[in-house]
């Protein structure tokens, strides 16, 4: 079996609003032509307002909005993409299994499908409607099963508990090679760049690491359901 990745361009009501936005991107989830939810990201609040307004004009309703006004969830009663029958229905009708989600950006629309060996159509571009421009096709053999662990985890799950200072400490440590083997920098040097003492910087870094590990822990544990996983220590949850 193989996975087929497509980057296409066509006049879709969901992708149209992000076509001209360099910082705009949308992740699309739908319930087989029924309800659809778009996760909309923008460079700033003004761009998000413009995107949400355009989606509202075609029936979208804001379900949730981030406090910094750079991301929102927009819900629809029906999926305009499935209803148009341009990409997903066209290929599923030829034996390709759609692997959600799809995504939209200024580059185009990205889709992924699963196909059995021998069913990969060499004339794939010709099987889509003429108004769909195929910009890129990629194929990859399925060499191991990893769909079970391939569910989406929002980045916000890992970052929302971090303070700006803790996030900055982690980023600085990674960029300057603190986590390399062997380490390229010592905490004394990192502390100087933060204008704090070494113990203060190490405490800042430990708190950031603790929060990231605590957020990641449930997703690590679910990969080994047969193993008995101990409870998360209270000290980790409170850090």
Rg, the chain, Cα only: 22
Find the mean pLDDT for residues 161-169: 86
pLDDT value at position 237? 44
Find the mean pLDDT for residues 111-135: 81
Indicate the number of domains in the chain: 2
The boundaries of the domain holding residue 76 are 2-141
pLDDT value at position 88? 82
pLDDT tens, position by position, 141-157: 877 666 555 555 555 55
Residue 90, judged by CB atoms within 10 A of its CB (0-12, 13-18, 19+), counts as: middle
Residue 113 pLDDT > 50, yes or no? yes
Q: Does residue 150 lie within any of the structural domains?
A: no
Residue 5 pLDDT > 80, yes or no? yes
* Listed ranges 43-52, 158-167, 197-206, 217-226; the one with the highest mean pLDDT: 197-206
pLDDT value at position 192? 94
* Listed ranges 109-113, 119-123, 152-156, 215-219; the one with the highest mean pLDDT: 109-113
pLDDT value at position 128? 84
What's the pTM? Answer: 0.59
CATH number for the domain including 203?
1.10.10
Tokens of 84: 């148009």
Find the mean pLDDT for residues 89-99: 82
Find the mean pLDDT for residues 57-73: 89
Name the percent of the chain lying above pLDDT 70.
Answer: 78
First to last CA, the chain: 45
CA 109 to chain centre: 14
pLDDT value at position 90? 82
Residue 214 pLDDT > 50, yes or no? yes
Q: Which of 141, 168, 201 is the endpoint of a domain?
A: 141
pLDDT value at position 231? 55
Q: Which of 141, 165, 185 is the endpoint of a domain?
A: 141
Strands 133-141 and 108-115: unpaired
pLDDT band, very low/low/confident/very high, at 22 (cuts 50, 70, 90) = confident
For residue 163, is it left (φ>0), alpha (ψ between -120 and 50) or beta? beta
What rounded mean pLDDT belongs to the chain?
81
Residues 164 and 133 in one domain: no
Residues 102 and 23 in one domain: yes
Residue 136, judged by CB atoms within 10 A of its CB (0-12, 13-18, 19+), counts as: exposed
Residue 138 pLDDT > 80, yes or no? yes
pLDDT band, very low/low/confident/very high, at 239 (cuts 50, 70, 90) = very low
Q: Does residue 148 lie within any of the structural domains?
A: no
Helices (H) and strands (E) in the chain, counts: 9, 9
Q: Which of 34, 10, 32, 31 is nearest to 104 (CA)?
A: 10
Q: What pairs with residue 4 in β-bridges?
A: 113, 139
75/36 Cα distance (integer angstroms): 6
148: how many CB neighbours lie within 10 A of its CB?
A: 9
Q: Does residue 31 lie within any of the structural domains?
A: yes
Q: Which of 93, 111, 141 is the endpoint of a domain?
A: 141
pLDDT value at position 146? 60
Find the mean pLDDT for residues 204-225: 76
Place of tokens 């390399």: 180
């Amino acid at each position: 079996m193989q996975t087929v990745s497509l980057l296409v361009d066509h006049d879709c009501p969901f992708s149209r609003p992000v076509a001209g936005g360099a910082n705009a991107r949308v992740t699309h989830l739908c319930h087989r032509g029924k309800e659809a939810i778009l996760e909309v990201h923008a460079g700033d609040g003004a761009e998000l307002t413009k995107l949400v307004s355009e989606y509202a004009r075609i029936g979208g309703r804001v379900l949730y909005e981030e406090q910094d006004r750079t991301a929102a969830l927009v819900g629809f009663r029906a999926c305009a993409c499935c209803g148009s029958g341009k990409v997903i229905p066209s290929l599923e009708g030829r034996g390709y299994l759609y692997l959600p989600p799809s995504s939209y950006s200024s580059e185009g629309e990205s889709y992924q499908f699963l196909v059995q060996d021998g069913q990969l159509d060499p004339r794939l571009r010709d099987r889509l409607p003429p108004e769909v421009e195929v910009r890129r096709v990629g194929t990859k053999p399925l060499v191991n099963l990893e769909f079970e662990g391939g569910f989406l985890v929002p980045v916000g799950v890992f970052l929302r508990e971090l303070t700006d200072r803790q996030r900055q400490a982690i980023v600085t440590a990674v960029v300057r090679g603190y986590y390399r083997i062997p380490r390229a920098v010592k905490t004394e040097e990192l502390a100087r760049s933060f204008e704090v003492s070494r113990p203060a910087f190490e405490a800042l870094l430990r708190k950031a690491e603790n929060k990231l590990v605590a957020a990641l822990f449930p997703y690590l544990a679910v990969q080994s359901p047969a193993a008995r996983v101990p409870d998360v220590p209270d000290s980790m949850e409170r850090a």
